[in-house]
Amino acid sequence: MKCKSLPLKEFYAKQYLQSAPVEWFSIQAKDDGPVEVTIYDFIGTGGVSASDMVTSLREVKGRDLNVRVNSPGGDVFDGIAIFNALRKHSGEVRVTVDGLAASAASVIAMAGESITMSQGAMLMIHDAWAMTIGNADDHIAMSETLNKVSAELAGIYSERTGVSSRAVRRLMQSETWLTAQEAKDQGFADVVEGENVQAQAREFVVPEGLMKAAPAALISAEIVTEEAVAENVQAAEDSMARLHCLKRLELAKRGELTKV
């Protein structure tokens, strides 16, 4: 059996798009001053996609951007594409992590010329993750691909922090969660906001098994806020298929899921 991607990502993305509008990504341009870019959703199809971002950025070419992030991550290549789109933007890009910048969302955060961590916010980095079906050779091939992807991500973090790619990769392999102060101390951020900023939160519940060592607050909370991510944690698992499955389960629980 040849290795192939599971169709879960596309299936759950389709269900989500049929069931609820995407309202947690926006770009608001005022007459003067910087443009507010809000990324409060999963990264990829059904959430904040690279296509959405690039299309929106064309409308504010040359304007300074304030990018606010509260996201558990998602599709690694959409995250990299959004990172590159922000890096190439002709205006100044300032990033603020309001609650959580995990996985692919932490890559996006690295695009900021300045990166601010709100009080209580956290940043998580880890190795790339995937699902494959096939024989031993297929899984070995995917393992090699994942190591290549993770090495590229380590390069992005290394460029921002000044820490060697090898040292960053060790942090990724441990699926490291950083508090706001730790992110600043290790070069992933420049500033920790002094005042207590209450982050708006996308409603998502993290079930047991999605993350390797998620804090109890993140598993049991109905929304991810500063309080929900304040526990010091060590690791989390990133999977677009599971993330979109999570959306479907939550919509079903609330009775908002459109039947196929």
Q: Which phi-psi region, left, alpha or beta, contains residue 175 (left: φ > 0; alpha: ψ -120 to 50)?
A: left
| Residue ranges per structural domain of the chain | 8-253
Q: How far, in Å, CA of 67 to CA of 87, rounded?
A: 12
Structure tokens at 86: 């922000």
236 or 48, which is more confident: 48
Q: Which token pair is 204?
A: 């998502």
For domain 8-253, give the CATH number.
Answer: 3.90.226.10
Active site residues: 103, 126
How far is residue 39's CA from residue 96's CA, in Å, rounded to a whole number?
10
The alpha carbon of residue 132 and the mean position of all alpha carbons in its chain are separated, in whole angstroms, by: 22
Whole-model pTM: value is 0.67
Token pair belonging to 248:
């479907």
Q: Which of 183, 17, 206, 170 is nearest to 95 (CA)?
A: 183
pLDDT tens for each residue of 27-79: 666 667 889 999 999 999 888 999 999 999 998 999 999 999 999 999 999 99
Task: Check residue 92 and give its pLDDT.
Answer: 96
Report CA Rg, the chain. Answer: 18
Strands 25-28 and 35-39: antiparallel
